[in-house]
């Protein structure tokens, strides 16, 4: 599973372009997710490709418009002029709808318009790319999981293609303690929200990244399917739920430099 649902406002005017006959729309959707009595801003970089772009363009979307975006997370990788490898998580928009009604917005520090409120939901299933490592902080136990989410499709020549997207998933407290026993290859389902993180590297450059902060974690059970028997009814997977999490400050490729 790879599903993202965002409700927010378009922070800046959408950018439309054509690359070798392929229509491309790029925009950033911003809002706030509430946890208890606190609000945390979120931003999702959305790419829409192909025939969907024309219908979105005809809707005349502009900065500050409220939208519903449904899509999938994908990892884009590139190399800088200096030869450094970079990657970023973006949302491949499969459905973009303009919302009717009045929505309160707030201007952020860079001049973008962000919805006060909104929706930020990510649902993923995949396999851990490495053993979970738990560390202790003043906010409790925390672990960053590297989740491999595989996408498969048939190309125009009828050939089966696959691509693995690597997603960093942060789990807190009881989820982190439970994750401590998880090893590379463990199949899991997570539910959470996109969060933005920034830091300064050792050269003094500001870096931005995007990851998923989980509020729900399920360890998926593998089924044995003998050739001479039919599979039995579904077993119930182990479920671990977290209390409301707090934003973290703070071999799979690195996931960094998400521009927004």
Q: What is the pLDDT along the chain (260 residues), one digit of tens a residue?
A: 999 999 999 999 999 999 999 999 999 999 998 887 888 999 999 999 999 999 888 889 999 999 999 999 998 887 777 777 777 889 999 999 999 999 999 999 999 999 999 999 999 999 999 999 999 999 999 999 999 999 888 888 888 988 999 999 999 999 999 999 999 999 999 999 999 887 777 777 777 788 999 999 999 987 766 655 554 444 444 444 444 444 433 333 344 444 33
Place of tokens 């969907």: 52
Buried/exposed 138-158: b ≥16 CB within 10 Å, e otherwise: eeebbbbbbbbbeeeeeeeee
Whether the CB-CB separation of 8 and 114 falls below 8 Å is answered with yes
How many Å from the N-terminal Cα to the C-terminal Cα in the chain? 26
Question: Rounded to an integer, what distance in angstroms lies between the CA atom of residue 44 and that of residue 196?
Answer: 9
Quick one: 108 exposed, middle or buried, by C-beta within 10 A (0-12, 13-18, 19+)?
A: middle
Residue 24 CB neighbours (<10 A): 14
Question: Rounded to an integer, what distance in angstroms lies between the CA atom of residue 198 and that of residue 106?
Answer: 21
Whether the CB-CB separation of 169 and 211 falls below 8 Å is answered with yes
Topology of domain 2-113 in CATH is OB fold (Dihydrolipoamide Acetyltransferase, E2P) (2.40.50)
Whether the CB-CB separation of 6 and 30 falls below 8 Å is answered with no
Whether the CB-CB separation of 126 and 149 falls below 8 Å is answered with yes
Q: Report pLDDT for 121.
A: 97
Residue 207 CB neighbours (<10 A): 14
Residue 52 CB neighbours (<10 A): 15
**DSSP-based three-state secondary structure for 43:** strand
Q: Report pLDDT for 97.
A: 95
Question: Rounded to an integer, what distance in angstroms lies between the CA atom of residue 173 and that of residue 40?
Answer: 19
Q: Where are the beta strands (DSSP E) in 155-227?
A: 160-172, 187-200, 206-219
- Secondary-structure class of domain 122-226+235-241 per CATH: mainly beta
The values of phi and psi at residue 224, to 5°, are: -90, 130
Question: Rounded to an integer, what distance in angstroms lies between the CA atom of residue 178 and that of residue 88?
Answer: 28
Buried/exposed 165-201: b ≥16 CB within 10 Å, e otherwise: bbbbbbbbbebbbbbeebeeebebbbbbbbbbbeeee
Q: Report pLDDT for 175.
A: 95
pLDDT tens digits for range 39-81: 899 999 999 999 999 988 888 999 999 999 999 999 888 777 7
Domain ranges of the chain: 2-113, 122-226+235-241
């Amino acid at each position: 599973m790879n599903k993202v649902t965002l409700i927010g406002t378009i922070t800046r005017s959408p950018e439309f372009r054509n690359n070798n006959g392929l229509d491309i729309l790029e925009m950033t959707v911003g809002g706030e997710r509430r946890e208890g009595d606190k609000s945390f801003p979120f931003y999702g970089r959305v790419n829409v490709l192909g025939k969907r772009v024309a219908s979105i363009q005809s809707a005349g979307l502009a900065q500050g418009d409220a939208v519903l975006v449904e899509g999938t997370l994908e990892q884009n990788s590139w190399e800088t002029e200096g030869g450094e490898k970079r990657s970023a998580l973006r949302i491949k928009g499969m459905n973009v709808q303009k919302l009717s009604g009045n929505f309160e917005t707030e201007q952020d520090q860079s001049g973008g318009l962000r919805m006060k409120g909104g929706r930020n939901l990510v649902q993923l299933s995949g396999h851990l790319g490495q053993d979970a490592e738990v560390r202790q902080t003043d906010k409790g136990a925390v672990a960053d999981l590297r989740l491999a989410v595989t996408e498969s499709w048939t190309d125009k020549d009828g050939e089966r293609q696959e691509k693995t997207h690597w997603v960093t998933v942060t789990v807190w407290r009881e989820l982190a303690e439970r994750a401590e026993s998880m090893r590379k290859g463990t199949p899991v389902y997570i539910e959470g929200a996109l969060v933005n993180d920034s830091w300064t590297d050792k050269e003094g450059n500001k870096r931005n990244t995007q990851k998923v902060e989980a509020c729900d974690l399920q360890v998926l059970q593998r089924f044995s399917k003998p050739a001479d028997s039919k599979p039995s009814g579904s077993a119930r997977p182990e479920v671990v739920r977290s209390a409301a999490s707090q934003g973290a400050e703070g071999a799979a490729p690195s996931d960094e430099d998400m521009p927004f």
